[in-house]
Amino acid sequence: MDEFIVTISREYGSGGRYVGELLADELDIPFYDKDIIQMVSKKSGLSEGLIEKSEEYMPNAFLHNLKYSAYSGYDSVTFYDTPVTDKVFLAQSDVIKEIASQGSCVIVGRCADYILRDDPRLVTVFIRAALDDKVDRAVKYYNLSAEKAPERIRKIDKHRTNYYKYYTSRQWGNFDNFDLAINTTFTGIDGAVALIATMLRGKNGT
């Protein structure tokens, strides 16, 4: 197959990260998720802990109106005066573009579908699931109680919605923005991987 960049957006507990990891293994291409934090830290000089922490909070009103026009590099005065959440997004955007420039890969989350929107190799996927299945996964894999899991799922997905809208002006989870939307309640994890792989083969005429 030709080169392609698969970005996976996912509801919390839907298994989207695991789908991406298995897909990358099947296609023998790089997989990027949490390791992007290390790469952003190296590029920006921000600590990994600070980067992880910043992902838990909504950014301040800075970049939304400026559309990045004030950004002139990591050594600029503008960068030092920028709120941490925006620093992270700027560095993260550059890292994601560098990753994509190296060839085929799978990237999970972090607005990668928007950041790479002009790349002709881009294939965007959204993974969702029924609440009961997300709760079961959260209990099994994330050590949450069945009682607390629904609220945790709601809170994280709300944050992802707000974060995505702030930086992209798009609605998170709007299927019009994705090439493929999959409900793992119906497909299962392996079925989701197979669907994406089939789409990639069709995209490349194989």
Mean pLDDT of 111-126: 95
Q: What is the pTM of this model?
A: 0.86
What does the pLDDT read at residue 204?
Answer: 62
19 in Cβ contact with 192 (< 8 Å): yes
Summarised one tens digit per residue, pLDDT across range 40-96 is 888 888 888 878 877 666 555 444 444 444 444 555 444 555 677 788 888 899 999
Of the two residues 137 and 43, the one the predictor is more confident about is 137
In the numeric block, which tokens belong to residue 77? 């005065």
Between 11-25, 52-66, 128-142, 151-165, the lowest mean confidence (pLDDT) is in 52-66
pLDDT at 28 over 70: yes
CB atoms within 10 A of CB 78: 13
Distance CA 53, CA 178 (A): 28
Mean pLDDT of 111-118: 95
Average pLDDT, the chain: 86
Sequence spans of domains, the chain: 5-203
21 in Cβ contact with 31 (< 8 Å): yes
Mean pLDDT of 181-206: 89
Nearest to 108 by CA among 12, 31, 190: 31
Between 46-50, 160-164, 190-194, the lowest mean confidence (pLDDT) is in 46-50
Give the 3-state DSSP-derived string for 41-62, with helices as H, strands as E and coil as C: HHHHCCCHHHHHHHCCCCCCCC
What does the pLDDT read at residue 63?
Answer: 45
Between 23-27, 46-50, 151-155, 197-201, the lowest mean confidence (pLDDT) is in 46-50
**66 Cβ contact partners less than 8 Å away, ≥ 6 residues apart:** none
Distance CA 74, CA 142 (A): 35
CATH architecture of the domain with range 5-203: 3-Layer(aba) Sandwich (3.40)
Enumerate long-range contacts of 142-145, CB under 8 Å, 24 or more apart.
Answer: 142/13
pLDDT at 205 over 90: no
